[in-house]
Amino acid sequence: MSYQVLARKWRPRTFASLVGQEHVVRALTHALTARRLHHAYLFTGTRGVGKTTLARILAKALNCETGVSATPCGSCSACQEIDSGRFVDLLEVDAATNTKVDEMRQLLENAVYAPTRGRFKVYVIDEVHMLSNSAFNAMLKTLEEPPEHVKFILATTDPQKIPVTVLSRCLQFNLKQMTQPLIASHLQQILEVEAISAEAGALQLLARSAAGSMRDALSLLDQAIAHGSGKVEETQVREMLGAVDLDHLLSIVDALLAGDAAAMLQIADDMAARSLSFDAALQEMAALFTRLQIAQLAPQAIADDLPERQRIETLAAALDPEFVQLAYQIAVHGRRELPLAPDELAGFVMTLLRLHAFRPAREDDSGARPATVGVAAARPASAPPPADASRPAAPAAADSPGRPAMEVASAAPAAAPATPAAAVPPAPLVPAAAATPAGDWHQILAALRVSGMARELAQHCELREQQSGRIVLRLSPAHRHLLMKPAQDKLQQSLAEH
């Protein structure tokens, strides 16, 4: 006997054996039990989630020789012929190859005749959105007032392309994508019956690569069994899929914490030598940063049986939550920009260097100390003194008294000479009672028209002192990566306009 692929061998034949579509099964079961049968059904969903399978099970439930039932017997001639695709009153049409109006008219001309063997004549039209507008129009009359013995079951992956006049005449059921744990569990059950050994990590990789499609998962499982010579092992599945080992990504994060850009590039070269997919690497990197953020904010949500749990918790404790959010965005945007890069390796390397450029400064870094940002006050609290009438008017290009010149001072290495602020004369200190408390910085920030990185910089600063014509802000070394010239300039300008 010839080999039958797993996707066909394990195709569900009853509602009870259908996996992951309980909401649709419940509705159809209740309708069949109560004999509230609609004349047209529309099943929508991505590939491999059970649209055609559900249509065949419904056809069996309608034509089973024991009667209309939610549990067809599966042993009568009608059920067996439907399972084998030989039932004369079940007409399966591929709309992708029968798109013309003449083909649809020829198909519907036979709808007026009574079924040959079954109780109902069932039309299953797959990929119905591929029909032309003329074919849809030819179908409308029969779809609106079909003969009592005719049932339509439409299936599509793109319901938005179906005319609303057709949608309004059908009961629509949206089939969900399968979750990864559900796919992995179903694959495990199949392998136990097939007496094939498998590692849990390998099944997780297959479930993730299936992207919610059970049919894709079974096809990948067939390929993995052949690749592993009758065994499903994680290393072989990872090699087959070109998936990236999590150790590579964890080593990248370790090098990122150490500030070792050369080590990060060496890991990228090793991945290129193994012909690993950098698109998959960035996808896995985003997933890793997601797990790190969960470990920081909701550690109880991390699975106890996760092999890398201890290492993830160690990295989560060493990283700032704000930087993890930024790193996730860098990984996602790096993957999006990968097709635009000169090659995949260059795009991946630039993403790693971007992570390194934005990494937070550590306390043990050389020369790391709190950064102080000094910004001139936008408007003095007291009114300016009246101008002397005998003094000549200031030139038009000069700054107005109410809008003094701006000045930004930041932390610099000790060897760098300080730049004197010669353009701004020292202003007298205001009385202590007039100084703004540190708590008022949030009120000042709320009134500023600033966004993006400039607002991030302002939110992580604290107000140390405010003098006449100068505001002194302090920035922690942990957020030193926010201290960039464009952000300082925008914050300075916003304070000047405040």
**What is the chain's pLDDT, residue by residue, as a tens digit (498 residues)?**
578 899 999 999 999 999 989 999 999 999 999 999 999 999 999 999 999 999 999 999 999 999 898 999 989 999 999 998 899 999 898 887 776 788 788 888 888 888 988 899 999 999 999 888 888 888 888 888 888 999 999 999 999 999 999 999 999 999 999 999 999 999 999 999 999 999 988 999 899 889 899 999 999 999 999 988 888 998 889 888 888 888 889 999 999 999 999 999 999 999 998 888 899 899 999 999 999 999 999 888 887 767 778 888 899 999 999 999 999 999 999 999 999 999 999 999 999 999 999 987 665 554 444 444 544 444 444 444 444 444 444 334 334 344 333 444 444 344 444 444 444 444 443 343 344 454 577 778 777 877 877 888 888 888 877 777 678 888 888 777 788 877 888 888 888 777
Q: Which CATH number fits domain 180-241: 3.30.310.10, 3.30.565.10, 1.20.1090.10, 1.10.8.60?
A: 1.10.8.60
Q: What is the pLDDT of residue 426?
A: 43
The listed CATH number (1.20.272.10, 2.40.50.140, 3.10.20.30, 1.10.1060.10) that belongs to domain 246-357: 1.20.272.10
Region(s) of the chain under CATH 1.20.272.10: 246-357
Check residue 439 and give its pLDDT: 52
What is the rounded CA–CA span in Å between residue 89 and residue 151? Answer: 11
Looking at residue 427, what is its pLDDT? 40
Q: Where in the chain is the domain with CATH 1.10.8.60?
A: 180-241
CATH number of 6-174: 3.40.50.300
What are the residue ranges of CATH 3.40.50.300 in the chain?
6-174
What is the pLDDT at residue 42?
95
pTM for the model? 0.65
CA separation, residue 455 to residues 150, 199, 405, 492 (Å) = 64, 48, 21, 11
pLDDT given for residue 370 in this prediction? 46
